[in-house]
Amino acid sequence: MDLHKVRRLSRVLVTSQLRSGRSSSDPRSIFGQPAFTAGLDVTVFLVAFTVVSLAVRSLTLGSGASGAGSVGAAVNGAIPFFPLAAVGVVLIAGTMFELSATAKFSGSDAVNWMPITPAEYVVSSSSAIAYTYSPAVALLLGGLLAFSVAEGALVTFVLTLILTVVALFEGALLVEMVRSLSTRAGSVGSGRRGPATFVLRAVVLISAILVLDLALNPVFLFEAVQRLSAFPAVSAAIPLFWSSRALSEWLSGQYLLGVAFAAAQVGFVVVLGLLAAQLRVRYWVPSATEIRLDAHRYARNHPVLSRIGLSRPEAALVSKDLRGLIRRKEMMPPLVVPIVLVLLLLIEGSGFGTLTTILWVAWVGGFFALLLSVTSVGQERRSLQLLFAFPITGRTVFRAKAAAALLPVVVAAAAMSFGVGLVAHFSTVSLLGVVLLTVVAAVILSFWGLVFAGRYSDFQERPRPQFLRPSAMLGATLSGVALLSAIVLPGAFVVADPSPTSLGFVVLSVGIAVTVGISAYVLARSGFDALFRELPF
């Protein structure tokens, strides 16, 4: 293995990952330099160390030895989970990054035709992934060092540090394996049917987000700690837990056993590396798989879309965008986020009252609409010049983009609010009210998203497309929150408790909705007119 080559390739991969983000694509930006991550590591480590040191000192002074002892016990209980947390952070973040990359970039990889062995690539790539996500670990370790200094347990800190860094690589190697396997699964799942790929990606992404939510849920983590200590035989059999076992044994004075588990963990990571290299050799493909769909029938009249008043070019544009919505890998996150939010509501929200449920559903509907409509122009990327070259006007594109956003949004908002209302046993009036409120919020937020899409879309080809310029995305989100609150809050009170006395809330909600809706429509339309005066790139 040529270590110089590995180091150079790692540096390039880190740079690539940093610059594929939102604000660091400028090669001169400090945020796009690998050194930035190292600086961030040091900063968060020192900040965490300082903050926790001060907290420990004030706790010791305030409550004496008993308080410090109980904190120490809690920290000792948490230490075994540091390596697991590192694996989780890298695995989830790395997998999410992979899923949001465009097929064009994830399917092409220059290193495939360079003189680099699969093992060299796997070591480089996993090092790059581990390095990219290292600030999260630095934060944990900075806090731990403060406790270790206070407790005089520096040897434990060093062992935790080593095993957490090993865990970082373990997570990175797992991401490498996910990459190779998803390439394989994508081609198996698609074959001759594209929708299979769509479902596969959606399931993976929804699972990843749910796991992430549970991994960050303190109640779930506490339960995991209890289970691990209750079933030592189980944790000994699962390599993923060996670092945790090593630290548990070390903390309980079983030093030899602790070192044995630590050595076993290192050995397991080496085996993972070899396995990842083999998977790369076997499953990595340098170009996209050819996917054949059912034979296309020409001369369709788009009957459904024509019926809602769209001209043939508008209907063709809508049809194109809807196909893209389910076929494009990078469109997956805006689609699955509302599904995850509803699933979380159903899993964790059993104690929600009627008002909270109505607010949640209307917000999810509104945000889905906003997320989808802000992508509507930026998703064209360089193909925008095709729309300019066709004999159509900016107004045609506006109507088509509005319809392409509204159709899925209205259907999803109505179905979701109706479903949740049924599950929550709403009265008939409340059920109709929540459907109406959610659909209205979704429609208005769709136009609000189009206001930003027409003016601030980003058309750059990037590994990880951003659709809207970062500052505009922030503006759209903040203003969307404000508008959604103004529309939904008074409406939700009425729906939760329909009575003649709530007439004032009805008038307020309708008034705000009409004012904002008309303003958003006018602003969005003028934005498209301005956009279609000259190609923006």
Partner 1 sequence: MGALPSDTHPSVSGSFALEVDGVSKAYGTTQALSNVQFAVPRGQIVGLLGPNGAGKSTTMKAVLGLVRPDSGTIRVFGRDVHADPVGVKRQIGYVPETPSVYEFLTGAEYLDFVADMYGLDPTSRRAQIQPFLDGLELSGHENSLISGYSQGMRQKVALIAGLFHHPQLLVLDEPLNGLDPRAARVVKDLLRNRVTRDGVGILFSTHVLEIAQAICDRVVILHHGTVLASGTVDSLRDRTGLAGSGLEEVFLALTGTGDIGDVVAALER
Give the residues lining the site for partner 1 (CB under 8 A).
103-104, 107, 194, 288-296, 298-301, 312-313, 315-316, 319-320, 323-324, 327-328, 381-383, 385-386, 388-393, 533-535
Q: Other CB atoms closer than 10 Å to residue 58's CB: what's the count?
A: 11
CA 484 – CA 387 distance, rounded (Å)? 32
- Using alpha carbons, select from 350, 327, 83, 90 the residue that is nearest to residue 208: 90
The smaller minimum CB distance to partner 1, of residues 287 and 499, is found at: 287
The smaller minimum CB distance to partner 1, of residues 5 and 104, is found at: 104
- Minimum Å gap between C-beta 463 and partner 1 is 15
The smaller minimum CB distance to partner 1, of residues 317 and 487, is found at: 317
Cβ contact 458:376 at 8 Å: no
CA 254 – CA 107 distance, rounded (Å)? 48
CA 453 – CA 437 distance, rounded (Å)? 24
The smaller minimum CB distance to partner 1, of residues 134 and 379, is found at: 379
Alpha helix ranges (H) inside 328-459? 332-348, 354-374, 384-389, 394-423, 428-456
- Using alpha carbons, select from 240, 236, 247 the residue that is nearest to residue 268: 240
3-state secondary structure (DSSP) of residue 301: coil
Cβ contact 436:72 at 8 Å: no
User: How many angstroms from the chain centroid is the CA of residue 127?
Assistant: 22
The smaller minimum CB distance to partner 1, of residues 107 and 475, is found at: 107
Give exposure, 285-317, as e/b (b: 16+ Cβ within 10 Å): eeeeeeeeeeeeeeeeebeebeeeebeebbbbb
What value does the CA radius of gyration of the chain take, rounded to a whole number of Å? 26
The smaller minimum CB distance to partner 1, of residues 7 and 382, is found at: 382
Tokens for 175, please give them.
């991401």
Give exposure, 334-363, as e/b (b: 16+ Cβ within 10 Å): bbbbbbbbbebbeeeeeeeebeebbbbbbb
Sign of CA dihedral 237, 204, 210, 343: negative
The smaller minimum CB distance to partner 1, of residues 354 and 379, is found at: 379
The smaller minimum CB distance to partner 1, of residues 293 and 422, is found at: 293
3-state secondary structure (DSSP) of residue 479: helix
The smaller minimum CB distance to partner 1, of residues 290 and 501, is found at: 290
- Minimum Å gap between C-beta 19 and partner 1 is 21
The smaller minimum CB distance to partner 1, of residues 103 and 486, is found at: 103
Cβ contact 366:488 at 8 Å: yes
Q: Other CB atoms closer than 10 Å to residue 229's CB: what's the count?
A: 12
- Minimum Å gap between C-beta 413 and partner 1 is 25
Classify the phi-psi angles of 287: left when phi > 0, otherwise alpha if psi is within -120 to 50, otherwise beta: beta
CA 259 – CA 262 distance, rounded (Å)? 5
- Minimum Å gap between C-beta 314 and partner 1 is 9
- Minimum Å gap between C-beta 390 and partner 1 is 4
- Minimum Å gap between C-beta 105 and partner 1 is 12
The smaller minimum CB distance to partner 1, of residues 233 and 389, is found at: 389
- Minimum Å gap between C-beta 22 and partner 1 is 23
Q: Token match 């465009």: residue?
A: 102
Q: Other CB atoms closer than 10 Å to residue 26's CB: what's the count?
A: 10
The smaller minimum CB distance to partner 1, of residues 103 and 264, is found at: 103
- Minimum Å gap between C-beta 376 and partner 1 is 14
- Minimum Å gap between C-beta 93 and partner 1 is 26
- Minimum Å gap between C-beta 392 and partner 1 is 6
- Minimum Å gap between C-beta 296 and partner 1 is 4
- Minimum Å gap between C-beta 262 and partner 1 is 46
Classify the phi-psi angles of 71: left when phi > 0, otherwise alpha if psi is within -120 to 50, otherwise beta: alpha
- Using alpha carbons, select from 333, 330, 322, 446 the residue that is nearest to residue 378: 330
Q: Token match 């003028």: residue?
A: 526
